[in-house]
C-alpha cells in the first residue's frame, strides 16, 4: 500500500493533482490512496509522525502561506521518513539545485506546465517500478547466523539493530523477532550490506529505520522505528545525522 500526501499552496493546482492521482489509481487498480491533501505543512508533519512506517509518496509545492517552505518541510519529513518518495511540483526548473544542497534525495521534479498531469502519471509509474525492484532486491539479501545447534536465516531489510552485550553475546533485533547468538559485532558487520552503519562500538543500525537522533552531548543516541534506543559515538554522530536527514 502506497500512501500519497499532497501539500500545495495553490488550491486549484492541489485539487487538480488530487483528482488526477485518484483517476490514475482507479485506472491501474493500484494499491494506493491519497491520505492527505492540504496547503498546511504542519498537517503533513502531524501525519508523518504517526505513519513513518508506511510507504509514502509526497507531492510538495515550494511556497506556503507559513514560515515553512517546501525545502524546510522535506527536511523535517526526512527526520521521520528516510525512504519515502519525494516529488516536487514547481514552476522553477533551477529549484533542483537547492534540493541537492539539502541532501533530500528527491525522486523527481515536475514542472507546472501543460504536461503536468501526464508527467505525474509517468512519475507514479516510475515509483511503482522502483519500489518493486527495491523490494525484490531486499528479499534476496539474507543474513545466516547460528546459535548452538540452531541456524537462522534473517532478511536484512527486517533487521533494525545489532548490539553486543556485557556477556559478549550479540543481540539482533528485527521487526518481528529478537535473536541472541554467539559472535562478534565485527563479524556481523562484515556480512551486512550498505544499509547498515556502526554508530557505536556496541551498536550497528539500519540507516533506513532511523526515527530520531538525540544530539544531547550527555545522551548521544538514535531512536529506531521500533522506538529502540541505540548509543551513538561522538565520531559517528555527523554521519548518523546525515543518514537521518538525507534518507540514505
> Residue 114 sits in a domain of what CATH number?
3.40.50.2300
For the ranges 17-21, 137-141, 229-233, the lowest mean pLDDT is seen at 137-141
Residue scoring higher pLDDT (150 or 60): 60
Residue 161 and residue 109 share a domain:
no
* Whole-number Å distance between alpha carbons of 113 and 132: 29
Beta carbons within 8 Å of 10's beta carbon, 6+ residues apart: 61
Residue 204 and residue 126 share a domain:
no
- Looking at 109, 138, 167, which one is the last position of a domain? 138
Beta carbons within 8 Å of 186's beta carbon, 6+ residues apart: none
Residue 228 and residue 131 share a domain:
no
CA distances to 48, 92, 243 from 105, in Å: 17, 18, 11
Residues 205/160, Cβ–Cβ less than 8 Å: yes
Residue 32: pLDDT over 90: no
- Looking at 138, 153, 181, which one is the last position of a domain? 138
Residue 188 and residue 85 share a domain:
no
Number of structural domains the chain divides into: 2
pLDDT at position 141: 86
* Whole-number Å distance between alpha carbons of 239 and 248: 10
User: pLDDT band at residue 179, thresholds of 50, 70 and 90?
Assistant: very high
Cα 134 → chain centroid: 13
pLDDT at position 185: 94
Over the stretch 95-120, which tens digit does the pLDDT of each residue have?
A: 666 666 566 788 998 998 999 999 99
Residue 248: pLDDT over 50: no
* Whole-number Å distance between alpha carbons of 59 and 14: 9
Read off the pLDDT of each residue in 40-53 and give the average, rounded to a whole number: 90
* Whole-number Å distance between alpha carbons of 94 and 89: 12
Residue 118 and residue 19 share a domain:
yes
Residue 225 and residue 154 share a domain:
yes
For residue 206, give the CATH number of its domain. Answer: 2.40.50.1020
Residue scoring higher pLDDT (136 or 79): 79
Residue 80 and residue 151 share a domain:
no
* Whole-number Å distance between alpha carbons of 124 and 85: 10
Residue 52: pLDDT over 90: no
* Whole-number Å distance between alpha carbons of 185 and 163: 7
Over the stretch 200-247, which tens digit does the pLDDT of each residue have?
A: 999 999 999 999 999 998 999 999 999 999 999 999 999 898 888 765
- Looking at 107, 138, 169, which one is the last position of a domain? 138
Q: Quote the pTM value.
A: 0.57
Residue 70 and residue 33 share a domain:
yes
pLDDT at position 168: 86
Residue 158 and residue 78 share a domain:
no
Read off the pLDDT of each residue in 39-54 and give the average, rounded to a whole number: 90
Residue 188 and residue 134 share a domain:
no
pLDDT at position 96: 61
List the Cα angle 120/124/128 in 5-degree steps: 170
Residue 118 and residue 92 share a domain:
yes
Residue 189 and residue 165 share a domain:
yes
pLDDT at position 7: 96
Mean pLDDT of the chain: 89
Range of the domain at 47: 2-138
Amino acid at each position: 500500500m502506497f500512501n500519497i500526501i499532497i501539500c500545495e499552496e495553490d488550491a486549484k493546482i492541489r485539487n487538480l493533482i488530487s483528482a488526477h492521482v485518484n483517476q490514475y489509481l482507479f485506472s491501474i487498480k493500484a494499491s494506493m490512496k491519497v491520505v492527505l491533501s492540504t496547503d498546511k505543512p504542519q498537517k503533513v508533519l502531524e501525519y508523518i509522525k504517526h505513519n513513518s512506517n508506511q510507504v509514502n509518496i509526497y507531492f510538495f509545492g515550494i511556497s506556503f502561506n507559513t514560515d515553512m517552505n517546501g525545502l524546510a518541510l522535506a527536511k523535517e519529513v526526512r527526520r521521520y521518513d528516510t525512504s519515502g518518495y519525494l516529488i516536487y511540483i514547481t514552476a522553477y526548473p533551477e529549484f533542483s539545485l537547492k534540493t541537492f544542497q539539502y541532501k533530500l534525495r528527491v525522486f523527481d521534479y515536475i514542472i507546472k506546465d501543460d504536461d503536468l498531469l501526464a508527467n505525474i502519471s509517468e512519475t507514479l509509474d516510475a515509483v511503482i517500478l522502483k519500489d518493486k525492484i527495491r523490494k525484490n532486491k531486499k528479499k534476496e539479501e539474507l543474513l545466516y547466523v547460528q546459535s548452538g545447534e540452531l541456524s537462522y536465516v534473517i532478511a536484512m531489510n527486517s533487521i533494525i539493530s545489532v548490539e553486543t552485550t556485557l556477556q559478549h553475546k550479540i543481540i539482533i533485533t528485527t521487526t518481528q523477532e529478537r535473536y541472541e547468538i554467539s559472535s562478534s559485532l565485527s563479524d556481523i558487520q562484515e556480512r551486512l550490506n550498505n544499509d547498515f552503519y556502526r554508530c557505536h562500538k556496541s551498536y550497528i543500525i539500519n540507516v533506513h529505520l532511523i526515527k530520531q537522533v538525540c544530539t544531547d552531548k550527555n545522551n548521544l543516541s538514535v531512536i529506531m522505528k521500533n522506538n529502540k534506543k541505540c548509543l551513538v559515538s561522538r565520531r559517528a554522530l555527523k554521519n548518523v545525522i546525515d543518514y537521518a536527514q538525507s534518507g540514505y
